[in-house]
Chains A and B, each alone.
Chain A
Amino acid sequence: MRELCAVAVDAATGAGAEYADARVVMKRNQFVATKSGRVERLSDSESEGIGVRVLLNGAWGFACDRRLSADGARDAALRACTFARAAPGKHSRQLAPVAPASGTHRTPVERDPFDVPLAEKVAQCLEADEAMAGPDILVRQTMVRAQREHKLLLTSEGTEVEQELIECGGGIECAAARDGVFQMRSYPSAQVGSSCQSGWEYVDGLDLTGQAPRVAEQAAALLRADECPNGVMTVVLDGDQVALQVHESVGHPTELDRVYGTEASYAGTSFLKPGDLGSMRYGSGLMNVTADPTTGGGLGSFAFDDEGVPAVRTPVVEDGLLTGFLTSRETAARIGAGNGGSMRADGWNRMPLVRMTNLHLEPGEGTLDDLLADVDEGVYMETNRSWSIDDKRLNFQFGTQIAWEIKGGKLGRMLRDATYTGITPQFWGSLDAVAGQDSWRLYGMTNCGKGQPGQSAHVSHGAAPARFRNVQVGVRS
Chain B
Amino acid sequence: MNALDVARTALDAAGGEAEAVAHVEHSGLARFAGSEVHQPTLIENAMVTIRVVHGNRVGIATTNKIDPPGLAEVARRAADAAESSPPDESFPGLAQHADPPAVEGYDEETAALGPGDQARLAAASIDAGGDVPVYGFFTSASSELAVVSSTGLSVQQRMTDATALVVAADENGSGYAEQTAWRAGRIDPTAVAREAADKAQRTRDAAEIDSGVYRAVLEPYAFADLLESFSHDSFGALGMLDKRSYFTDRLGQKVFDEKISIVDDALDPHGLPKAFDFEGTPKRRLQLVEAGIARSVVWDRTTAVQAGDGVESTGHAPPAELRDWGPLPSALCVLPGDAESVAELADLVGDGLYITRLHYLGVVQPREGIITGMTRDGTFRIRDGKVAEPLVNLRFTIAVPDLLRDVLGLTNEVALVNSQNFYGERYPYGVMAPTIAAERFTVTGVGSKPGI
Residues of A within 8 A of B (CB): 31, 33, 35, 38-49, 59-67, 75-76, 79-80, 82-84, 86-91, 93, 117-119, 121-122, 126, 138-139, 175, 177, 180-182, 260-266, 268-269, 271, 349-351, 353, 385-392, 394-395, 397, 399, 417, 419, 421, 449, 451-456, 475-476
Contact of B397 among A266, A353, A475 (CB under 8 A): A475
Encoded as 1 (CB less than 8 Å from any A CB) or 0, chain B from 35 to 66 comes to: 11111111111110100000000111111110
Q: Pull 30 A–B residue pairs with CB atoms less than 8 Å apart, ordered by A.
A: A38-B89, A42-B58, A42-B84, A43-B320, A46-B62, A46-B65, A47-B47, A47-B63, A48-B65, A64-B45, A83-B40, A83-B115, A86-B116, A87-B30, A87-B37, A90-B36, A119-B84, A175-B243, A262-B39, A265-B137, A265-B165, A265-B166, A353-B39, A389-B360, A391-B374, A392-B448, A394-B447, A417-B364, A452-B31, A475-B444
Judge whether B119 and A62 touch: CB under 8 Å. Answer: no
Judge whether A126 and B86 touch: CB under 8 Å. Answer: yes
- Count of A-B residue pairs with CB < 8 Å: 277
Judge whether B321 and A43 touch: CB under 8 Å. Answer: yes
B140 to chain A, nearest CB (A): 12
Judge whether B324 and A33 touch: CB under 8 Å. Answer: yes
B362 in the interface, Cβ–Cβ < 8 Å? yes
Q: Which residue of A lies closest to B366 (CB)?
A: A182
Judge whether B80 and A118 touch: CB under 8 Å. Answer: yes
B180 in the interface, Cβ–Cβ < 8 Å? no
B71 to chain A, nearest CB (A): 12
Judge whether A350 and B41 touch: CB under 8 Å. Answer: yes
Judge whether B366 and A390 touch: CB under 8 Å. Answer: no
Q: In the assembled complex, which residues on chain A have CB atoms less than 8 Å from the CB atom of B118? A: 83
Q: Across the A-B interface, give the 5 residue pairs with the lowest CB-CB distance, nearest first.
A: A89-B36, A453-B422, A118-B84, A454-B423, A88-B123
Q: In the assembled complex, which residues on chain B have CB atoms less than 8 Å from the CB atom of A83? A: 28, 30, 40, 42, 115-116, 118-119
Q: Which residue of A lies closest to B126 (CB)?
A: A88
B242 in the interface, Cβ–Cβ < 8 Å? yes
Judge whether B395 and A397 touch: CB under 8 Å. Answer: yes
Contact of B33 among A82, A265, A389 (CB under 8 A): A265
Judge whether B85 and A66 touch: CB under 8 Å. Answer: no
A25 to chain B, nearest CB (A): 11
Q: In the assembled complex, which residues on chain A have CB atoms less than 8 Å from the CB atom of B222? A: none
B29 in the interface, Cβ–Cβ < 8 Å? yes
B203 in the interface, Cβ–Cβ < 8 Å? no
Judge whether A399 and B422 touch: CB under 8 Å. Answer: no
Q: Which residue of A lies closest to B67 (CB)?
A: A67
Residues of B within 8 A of A (CB): 27-47, 49, 58-65, 74, 77-78, 80-81, 83-86, 88-90, 114-116, 118-120, 122-123, 126-127, 133, 135-137, 139, 165-167, 169, 211, 242-244, 320-321, 323-324, 359-367, 372-374, 376, 393, 395, 397, 421-424, 444-448, 452
Bound together, the chains give a CA A121 to CA B80 distance in angstroms of: 13
Bound together, the chains give a CA A38 to CA B58 distance in angstroms of: 11
B174 to chain A, nearest CB (A): 8
Bound together, the chains give a CA A61 to CA B28 distance in angstroms of: 11
Q: In the assembled complex, which residues on chain A have CB atoms less than 8 Å from the CB atom of B422? A: 452-454
Known A66-B44, A265-B167, A390-B360; further 10 A-B contacts with Cβ < 8 A: A43-B321, A45-B321, A46-B63, A46-B65, A86-B120, A88-B37, A138-B242, A264-B452, A268-B360, A453-B29
Contact of A44 among B35, B58, B61, B448 (CB under 8 A): B61
B44 to chain A, nearest CB (A): 5
Bound together, the chains give a CA A60 to CA B59 distance in angstroms of: 41
Judge whether B85 and A62 touch: CB under 8 Å. Answer: no
Bound together, the chains give a CA A3 to CA B235 distance in angstroms of: 50
Q: In the assembled complex, which residues on chain B have CB atoms less than 8 Å from the CB atom of A60? A: 37-40
Judge whether A89 and B37 touch: CB under 8 Å. Answer: yes
Judge whether B36 and A453 touch: CB under 8 Å. Answer: no
B431 to chain A, nearest CB (A): 18
Q: Which residue of A lies closest to B115 (CB)?
A: A83
